[in-house]
């Protein structure tokens, strides 16, 4: 008989009631949602916050003198302060709102390389990166004549730290790496990697898209130069993200996009001057509802306690891993000693897409494919994986349902 592990200081049933979509039926079966690495579901408070904005004070922000504009502006800037506090940034101006992690990385890669990369200068990334932390740097390096260097993966899914240390040279300018792998669940040693980079005089950008919802993120204690994440990974709306940067580093970068809000003065034919942070990097009308919704989501997470969430999700990770390993033909991809909330696997002789489709028919949402991490698939010589990824509202009972459904799928496909 399976043993149920105790939940640490965590009222899971109360939390589940906060997420209306969890009562959904899929093919006449209760939804089991294990695709949280792609996007998380939204608590009622976030849904209500969006409704309140659109029905009560919908207006554009900044420069407006009427009441609705002032209220929307105040709400947006309150959300900026909430983000600041959540990641322990030094000041609100260090928080730049973007469309998401991908947009944040494109902004930084473009602006940073324009300011700092000359022909022959080096950018270090890793073999476990999401495509969004590979392609923008490749594009910027190609334009500026930079060189991309790659930290290799080890067989267990951790980074080769000796290789990382050996990659630095006097021409290395910036290191960009993920905190938590979206495919392997590997938690990288951020503090150590930042310290090593700084010892070589390099800047660091940390992709926290898969960390912000699972781990304590403190940019000042870890001395992180730049950090990016997406709202929809942490129970907020889609289409909103954050670029954090130390004030002096951001202030030294050129604008990424032109338009309204990012200017101080404009004169023809030349002579434009640019706004101060954060507005220099926030051209055009922002995703106001998304920003306010992000603030509500971060407050919700803070109220539940990120440490309690992490402990609950770690129990789920350990339990799921234990149950999966009992299935004949099971191969778990990525077994680093430090992992968070994600398990990727294959079953001998069965394509991951087939497993994903049969699980879906039983009401279970998982992710299949290369997860926008083709270099990882190349490392393991595989076409893709089945990925289950957890959130605060998932339960061990759902894992049991998934395991039973997986066994039935294997029998059907065997």
Active site residues: 372
User: Phi/psi at 200 (nearest 5 deg)?
Assistant: -95, 10
Q: How far is residue 290 from each of residues 6, 26, 46, 53, 295, measured CA to CA in Å?
A: 35, 27, 10, 10, 9
DSSP 35: B
Which of 359, 355, 369, 357 lies closest to 413 in space, CA to CA?
355
Which of 309, 331, 312 lies closest to 321 in space, CA to CA?
331
Given a contact cutoff of 8 angstroms between Cβ atoms, the answer to whether 320 and 343 are in contact is yes
- Residue 343's region, left for phi above 0, alpha for psi from -120 to 50, else beta, is beta
- DSSP H or E run through 148: strand 147-151
Distance CA(349)–CA(321), nearest Å, equals: 20
Distance CA(7)–CA(245), nearest Å, equals: 36
Q: How far is residue 254 from each of residues 55, 178, 196, 225, measured CA to CA in Å?
A: 37, 24, 27, 17
Q: Across the chain, how many H-helices and E-strands are there?
A: 13, 17
**Residues facing residue 25 across a β-bridge:** 30
Given a contact cutoff of 8 angstroms between Cβ atoms, the answer to whether 209 and 39 are in contact is no
Given a contact cutoff of 8 angstroms between Cβ atoms, the answer to whether 131 and 374 are in contact is yes
β-strand pairing of 203-207 with 172-178 = parallel
Distance CA(281)–CA(294), nearest Å, equals: 18
């Amino acid at each position: 008989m399976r043993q149920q592990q105790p939940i640490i200081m965590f009222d899971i049933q109360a939390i589940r009631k906060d997420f209306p979509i969890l009562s959904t039926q899929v093919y006449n079966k209760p939804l089991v949602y294990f695709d949280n690495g792609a996007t998380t579901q939204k608590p009622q408070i976030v849904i209500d916050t969006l409704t309140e904005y659109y029905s009560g004070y919908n207006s554009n922000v900044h420069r407006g003198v009427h009441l609705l504009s002032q209220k929307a502006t105040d709400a947006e800037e309150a959300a900026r302060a909430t983000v600041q506090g959540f990641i322990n940034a030094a000041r609100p101006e260090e928080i730049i709102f973007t469309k998401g992690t991908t947009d944040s990385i494109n902004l930084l890669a473009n602006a940073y390389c324009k300011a700092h990369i000359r022909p022959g200068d080096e950018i270090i990334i890793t073999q476990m990166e999401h495509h969004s932390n590979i392609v923008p740097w490749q594009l910027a390096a190609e334009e500026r004549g930079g060189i991309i260097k790659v930290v290799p993966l080890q067989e267990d899914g951790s980074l080769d730290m000796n290789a990382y240390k050996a990659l630095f040279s006097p021409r290395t300018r910036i290191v960009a790496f993920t905190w938590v792998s979206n495919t392997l669940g590997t938690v990288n040693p951020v503090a150590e990697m930042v310290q090593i980079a700084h010892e070589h005089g390099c800047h660091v950008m940390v992709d926290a898209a898969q960390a912000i919802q699972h781990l304590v993120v403190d940019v000042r204690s870890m001395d992180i130069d730049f950090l990016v994440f997406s709202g929809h990974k942490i129970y907020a709306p889609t289409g909103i993200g954050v670029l954090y940067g130390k004030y002096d580093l951001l202030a030294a970068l050129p604008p990424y996009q032109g338009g309204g809000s990012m200017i101080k003065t404009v004169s023809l034919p030349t002579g434009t001057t640019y706004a101060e942070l954060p507005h220099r990097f926030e051209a055009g009308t922002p995703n106001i509802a998304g920003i306010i919704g992000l603030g509500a989501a971060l407050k919700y997470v803070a109220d539940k306690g990120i440490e309690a969430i992490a402990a609950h999700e770690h129990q789920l990770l350990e339990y799921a891993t234990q149950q999966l390993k009992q299935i004949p033909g099971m191969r778990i991809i990525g077994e680093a000693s430090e992992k968070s909330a994600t398990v990727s696997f294959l079953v001998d002789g069965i394509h991951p897409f087939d497993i994903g489709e049969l699980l879906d028919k039983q009401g279970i949402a998982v992710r299949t494919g290369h997860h926008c991490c083709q270099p990882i698939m190349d490392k393991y010589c595989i076409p893709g994986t089945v990925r289950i990824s957890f959130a605060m509202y998932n339960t061990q009972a759902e894992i049991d349902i998934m395991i039973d459904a997986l066994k039935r799928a294997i029998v059907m496909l065997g």
